[in-house]
Amino acid sequence: MENQEHGLMAHFEKDAHSFVIRIWREHRVIPTGQAEWRGWISHVQSGHRHYFRNVTDIANIITQYLENLPSLDDVFKPVQSEVNHPHEREDD
């Protein structure tokens, strides 16, 4: 049973991406200057790190990795084409 569950998870995770995101607020030396939010995103599988100065860049950076993934219809298609339901009876 455990091997079957592991196989099922591997099916769904083969096209998965993991990211680590770190965000911090950087204060300006100039008294009138506003603080800026900055950060980085690390793509776990490749180890690539992308720095940003605007939090709206987060979606753009992640999207670069997702463009080559299959459509959601392909990702969430049934693992088994036919499922036997023991509680259902065929009519004669």
Residue 79 covered by a domain: no
Instruction: Give the mean model confidence (pLDDT) for residues 15-32.
Output: 86
Residue 41 covered by a domain: yes
Helices (H), the chain: 2-13, 57-66, 72-75
Instruction: Judge contact between 60 and 41, C-beta under 8 A.
Output: no
- pLDDT by residue (tens digit) across 25-80? 988 777 777 888 899 999 998 999 999 998 999 999 999 888 766 555 555 555 55
Residue 17 covered by a domain: yes
Residue 42 covered by a domain: yes
- How many independent structural domains does the chain possess? 1
Please report the pLDDT score of residue 51 as a whole number.
96
3-state SS class at 83: coil
Range of the domain at 43: 11-69
Residue 54 covered by a domain: yes
Residue 5 covered by a domain: no
More confidently predicted of 33 and 21: 21
Q: Which residues pair with 43 in a beta bridge?
A: 19
